[in-house]
């Protein structure tokens, strides 16, 4: 199974029903140089919603998924139970971690069906894929999402403390390209392998 990550953008939270709405995935390039085309998704609802990709720790279901060229907008319902105590605690903790923004990433688990290599990179463009599960994850692999999250959190904390915001340091394009490996000619990436 492959995975692709994005920042959890919670559009709304319903505390009583434990429902969140957000964006599961986008067509932007991830840190592995892969692109997962949203419109290539094949799925049947409900889709399992997991905690940190642990199939032994389901927390709810994706009950709605609207596919657009910009991404897949999802509605997720966390399960709420009163017993047994161990299950109740696990589900309450998973809900609280998302609600309090301790876990802010989403990751799709999928099976590639059709793909093409992206020239000049190790990346693959997945054009058709089975959407198998969605997980709440602590650290999304999407570099842009991580930078945005750190910057936003840093600015909010500094403002609350009365401290001045610091400059954001960015690597120039030459350094970024030098640090990014390129795909050797004739070396196809093997779909289905896990690249974390």
- pLDDT tens digits for range 179-195: 333 344 444 444 453 32
- Is pTM beyond 0.85 here? no
Q: Measure the CA–CA gap between 31 and 5, rounded to whole angstroms.
A: 9
Q: What percent of the chain has pLDDT over 70?
A: 66
Indicate if the pLDDT at residue 82 is higher than 90.
Answer: yes
Please, which pLDDT band fits residue 31 given cuts at 50, 70 and 90?
Answer: confident
Work out whether strand 124-137 and strand 105-117 pair parallel, antiparallel, or are unpaired: antiparallel
Q: Is 100 helix (H, G, I), strand (E, B) or coil?
A: coil
Q: Which DSSP state fits 25?
A: E
Nearest to 105 by CA among 63, 150, 40, 60: 150
Nearest to 49 by CA among 117, 126, 133: 133
Q: Average pLDDT in the 51-59 region?
A: 94
Considering only residues 153 and 49, tell me which one the structure prediction assigns the higher pLDDT.
49
Indicate if the pLDDT at residue 78 is higher than 80.
Answer: yes
Q: According to the model, what pLDDT value does residue 94 have? A: 94
């Amino acid at each position: 199974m492959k995975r692709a990550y994005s920042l959890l953008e919670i559009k709304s939270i319903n505390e009583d029903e434990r429902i969140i709405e957000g964006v599961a995935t986008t067509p932007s390039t991830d840190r592995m140089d892969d692109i997962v085309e949203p419109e290539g998704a094949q799925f049947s609802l409900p889709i399992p919603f997991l905690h940190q990709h642990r199939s032994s720790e389901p927390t709810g279901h994706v009950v709605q998924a609207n596919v657009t060229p910009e991404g897949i907008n999802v509605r997720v319902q966390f399960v709420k139970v009163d017993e047994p105590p161990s299950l109740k605690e696990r589900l309450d903790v998973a809900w609280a971690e998302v609600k309090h923004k301790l876990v802010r990433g989403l990751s799709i688990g999928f099976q590639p069906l059709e793909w093409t290599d992206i020239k000049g990179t190790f990346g693959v463009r997945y054009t058709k894929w089975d959407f198998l599960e969605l997980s709440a994850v602590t650290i999304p692999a999407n570099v842009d999402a991580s930078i945005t999250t750190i910057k936003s959190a840093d600015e909010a904390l500094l403002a609350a403390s009365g401290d001045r915001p610091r400059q954001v340091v960015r690597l120039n394009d030459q350094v970024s390209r030098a640090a990014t490996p390129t795909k050797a000619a004739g070396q196809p990436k093997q779909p289905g392998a896990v690249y974390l």
